[in-house]
Amino acid sequence: MKRIGVFTSGGDAPGMNAAIRAVVRAGIYYDKEIIGIYRGYEGMIEGDFVPMDVRSVSNILQRGGTILKSARSTEFKTPEGRAKAYEQLKKHNIDGLIGIGGDGSFTGMHHLYKEHGIPYVCLPGTIDNDIPGTDYTIGFDTATNTAVEAIDKIRDTALSHNRLFFIEVMGRDSGYIAINAGIAGGAVSVIIPEEQTSIDELVKKLNEGGKHNKSSSLVIVAEGGKSGSAMEIAQKVKEKSSYFDTKVTILGHLQRGGAPTYFDRVLASKMGVAAVESLDEGKTDVMIGIVNNKMVYNKFEEIMTQPKYVHKDDLRIAKILSI
Ligand SMILES: Nc1ncnc2c1ncn2[C@@H]1O[C@H](COP(=O)(O)OP(=O)(O)O)[C@@H](O)[C@H]1O
Ligand SMILES: O=P(O)(O)OC[C@H]1O[C@](O)(COP(=O)(O)O)[C@@H](O)[C@@H]1O
Ligand SMILES: [Mg+2]
């Protein structure tokens, strides 16, 4: 393994820069040439490559976003698109890849490997924490802290006006950000895609809160749930009860930006070094994960056939604490 390509793909996540830095520095430490690939699979298809030296990753450890930029590429989902990407990698003598992205990016790397034999190691980089085989993904901790900070601020208004707020958080089809931000932010109820929510039960719960003199109520809604968006759920609740002065806040892309927490910086740094070392040792078709505070190497087929659900116990805890 002499030349390693590194790229970020899918939604950007805080800590991606720390991971790029670790890959570049560890690669150079082990006498590899590191080639940065811009804009994920789009840049791979177009051959948008740049050699990276030690100083090219100075002062990025603490920055959100990704200096390599990211993209979602429709073309790469086709065998033809991946063949184009492979031609570019061959032309630039790239022997292996380290990709930083979510479940979609991991699936893309797996297909490229199966079709063209390019060894790769994936680092889980997504705010959603929706990939099996790791307790945490890079960016999840920062995004959840950002959501909690926003929830605390909204509580000030909720308290001052005795209002009911529905706060929508990201996570695509996963409730990880929602349940953790819900526990940390003291939500009266957390609505996640993994569970069916009854509007009648929610109204009952809110009414009980009213009877117990709750002066503010915050409901955290994960995007992507079957019960609808925060806006739709708020509307349904209003139709069933005129008791509440209701407002809706969608946190949106606020959750993707900002300086990574210490946790995400350390996680990304450890995973970046592990990626270079494991690729050099001959590991491939794997995603690095952290499980019980230990680095693990997950084969694509072993983890991507399994769903990753929020811990049932977390839902129980949120419920107990919201009375
Ligand atoms: N099933 C797939 N086959 C091949 N490539 C895929 C597949 N799913 C996703 N990708 C590639 O990975 C990119 C990033 O995936 P996406 O789901 O958008 O984000 P993330 O990697 O953060 O989950 C997609 O734009 C696409 O190019
Ligand atoms: O920024 P976009 O393209 O609108 O995508 C929004 C989606 O990206 C995310 O922020 C991150 O998802 P990925 O890491 O899978 O790309 C999701 O929580 C959200 O559903
Ligand atoms: Mg994803």
Ligand with minimal distance to 75 CA? 1
Categorize the per-residue pLDDT at 236 as very low, low, confident or very high, splitting at 50, 70 and 90.
very high
Q: Is the CA virtual torsion 207, 209, 214, 219 positive or negative?
A: negative
For the cut 90, the answer to whether the pLDDT of residue 186 exceeds it is yes
Q: Please tell me whether the interface predicted TM-score (ipTM) of this complex is above 0.95.
A: yes
Q: What is the pLDDT of residue 221?
A: 98
Query: 71 alpha carbon to ligand 1 midpoint, in Å?
Result: 9
Residue found under tokens 């200096």: 67
Q: What is the pLDDT of residue 242?
A: 77
Q: pLDDT over 70 for what percent of the chain?
A: 100
Categorize the per-residue pLDDT at 152 as very low, low, confident or very high, splitting at 50, 70 and 90.
very high
Between 253 and 323, the higher pLDDT residue: 253
Which residues are near ligand 2 (CB < 6 Å)?
10-11, 102, 104, 126-128, 170-172, 223, 256
Between 245 and 176, the higher pLDDT residue: 176
Query: 86 alpha carbon to ligand 3 midpoint, in Å?
Result: 23
CATH tag for 3-139+260-303 (out of 3.40.50.300, 3.40.50.450, 3.30.300.280, 3.30.1330.60): 3.40.50.450
User: Do the first three CATH levels of 3-139+260-303 and 140-256 match, i.e. the same topology?
Assistant: yes
- Of 70-74, 260-264, 312-316, the least confident: 312-316
Q: Pull the structure tokens for residue 299.
A: 């084969």
* Nearest atom (ligand 1) to Cα of 103: 23
Which residues are near ligand 1 (CB < 6 Å)?
9-11, 41, 72-73, 76-77, 101-105, 107-108, 111, 126
Q: Which stretches within the chain are classed as H helix?
A: 16-29, 40-46, 79-91, 103-116, 140-161, 176-185, 199-211, 230-240, 262-280, 300-303, 312-321
Q: pLDDT over 90 for what percent of the chain?
A: 89
Q: Pull the structure tokens for residue 222.
A: 């994960």
- Which residue lies with its CA nearest to atom 25 of ligand 1? 72
Q: What is the pLDDT of residue 4?
A: 98
Q: Give tens-digit pLDDT for 89-113.
A: 999 999 999 999 999 999 999 999 9
CA angle 241, 244, 248 (to 5 degrees): 105
HSE of 128, CA atoms in CB hemisphere, 13 A: 24
Query: 104 alpha carbon to ligand 1 midpoint, in Å?
Result: 3
Q: What is the pLDDT of residue 312?
A: 84
- Which residues are known binding-site members? 11, 21-25, 72-73, 102-105, 126-128, 155, 163, 170-172, 214-216, 223, 247, 253-256
| Domain range summary for the chain, segments of one domain joined by + | 3-139+260-303, 140-256
Query: 43 alpha carbon to ligand 3 midpoint, in Å?
Result: 19
Q: 134 — phi, psi (to 5°)?
A: -150, 140
DSSP per residue over 248-265, as a string?
Answer: EEE-GGGGG-SPPPHHHH
For a ligand 2 pocket test, name from 41, 128, 137 the mutation site with the most ligand atoms within 8 angstroms of its C-beta. 128
Collapsed DSSP state (helix, strand, coil) of residue 29? helix
Categorize the per-residue pLDDT at 278 as very low, low, confident or very high, splitting at 50, 70 and 90.
very high
Q: Average pLDDT of 31-56?
A: 98
For the cut 80, the answer to whether the pLDDT of residue 280 exceeds it is yes
Categorize the per-residue pLDDT at 43 as very low, low, confident or very high, splitting at 50, 70 and 90.
very high
Query: What is the chain's mean pLDDT, rounded?
Result: 96
- Which residues are known binding-site members for ATP? 11, 72-73, 102-105
pTM, entire model = 0.97
* Nearest atom (ligand 2) to Cα of 126: 14
For the cut 90, the answer to whether the pLDDT of residue 307 exceeds it is no
For the cut 80, the answer to whether the pLDDT of residue 310 exceeds it is yes
Q: 80 — phi, psi (to 5°)?
A: -65, -45
Categorize the per-residue pLDDT at 253 as very low, low, confident or very high, splitting at 50, 70 and 90.
very high
The dotted CATH code for 140-256 is 3.40.50.460
Q: What is the set of active-site residues?
A: 128
